[in-house]
Amino acid sequence: MRITGLRLRQLTGILEHEGPYWEERLQRPIDVYPEYKAQRARPGFWMPQPIDERHSRVISIFVEIDTDEGITGIAGPVPHEVAYVIDREFRGPVEGADALASERLWDIMYREAVHGRKGVAMMAISAIDCAMWDLKGKALGQPVYRLLGGPVRDSAPAYASMLGYSIEPEMAAKRTREKVAEGFTALKWFPLYGPTDGRDGMRRNIALAEALRDAAGPDIDIMLDAWMSWNKRYTLDFARHVAHLDIKWIEEPVMPDKIALCAEINAASPVPIATGEHEYTRWGQKELLDAGASEYLQADTYWAGGISEMVKICTLASTYDVPVIAHGHSVPANTHLTLAMPPLLMPMVEYLVKWNELLQFFWKNPVKPVDGIVTLSDRPGFGMEYDPEKIETDEELRWAEGSNMAGSIQERQ
């Protein structure tokens, strides 16, 4: 079976919601500069485009790989910059390739993209790899978790990742109680303040942590994500202030390249450190493991190399006895991987509550937790198919020779 074509399919649809979709954004490393700290969330294709208070337009791009046997593998959604790289850099290796030889194609793309070992090029490789696994599952009539040797279990707990919700303590406490009532046994929140916000910012972050623990009670795990925006001193000061609250982890306290520094923080902090979301491939994750930088590894399936590479990352992590909890931008793929791995190696699935309304918007059968638990069907591949009722417009994207991504996107807006 040969690959006969690669398509980038852009879908738009209308999402209904109550009130403004984003109540709060996360802090960013760039917020050390006041003009960026003052910004709200940036517009873009990852974000819903507001129409009115109750409706926003969702724009998503999916990767489709066709074969000479009429089977199509699907992956996504992916950002426009990733779609551009797929279109301009990887059509050659993909089209005409053996449709079941995913390992061979991964290695060819990796060797071709010598300047793309991290970042957008590796995200493009990741999406193509995931589409290959979907294709392989459909060709063999099996769900991906079976191709990976599973299922080890038929369900896994999900934790509610609360990005986009208000972090005003009273409102955050209310939302925490709601999620606990829905069956979640773990929640992650995103403090907004960092080293440039002084003592008042530290007090606000501590007040958020205290409100979350009070609302959740003693038996619910609470995690906090700094999103690369703190430093060593700030993280350790904060960790000492909240250690009595039994916080499960502090996530990504420093910029990704500061691996040795992250290891120092992990060794000194009374709260465990988690990281790995912004690291790529088995080689990058091994640096984190070798350094002892993290108690939980959080590689992203759609960024770190796809399912093929995540299997290798999990194997590596198992030799260090470090659990892998894949970053939650790709819940269907992550759930297949999680259910194919031992529970101590992949104990749970991250479920970004608001993001998954966007990322799974066009699926007929989105993977959503019920009573805090995710399960999967036995549908072939990743089990995802489009819901035609959700699609407002449907077009194939191609970038003409000599065109640039920014110009093409601007024209489409």
**Active site members:** 327
Q: Which residues contact 366 (CB under 8 A, 6 or more apart)?
A: 332, 356, 360
Rg for the chain, CA atoms, rounded: 21
Token duo for residue 349: 């699935």
Helix then strand then coil, in percent of the chain rounded to 5, is 40, 20, 40
Cα→Cα distances 307→102, 301, 341, 366, Å: 10, 6, 12, 19
Whose CA is closest to 324, among 360, 367, 288, 357? 288
**Helix (H, G, I), strand (E, B), or coil: what is residue 148?**
coil
* Residue 41 contacts residue 24 (beta carbons within 8 Å): no
Cα→Cα distances 274→14, 173, 359, Å: 35, 23, 24
User: Could you give the CA distance from residue 133 to residue 330 in angstroms, rounded to a whole number?
Assistant: 14
**Amino acid at position 404, single letter:** N
User: Could you give the CA distance from residue 249 to residue 296 in angstroms, rounded to a whole number?
Assistant: 9
Angle between helices 306-320 and 281-291 (to 10 degrees): 20
Token duo for residue 245: 């609250």
Place of tokens 């071709």: 112
Cα→Cα distances 193→165, 210, 233, 251, Å: 15, 15, 14, 14
Kind and range of the H or E run holding 104: helix 102-112
Sign of the C-alpha dihedral, residues 104, 106, 111, 112?
positive
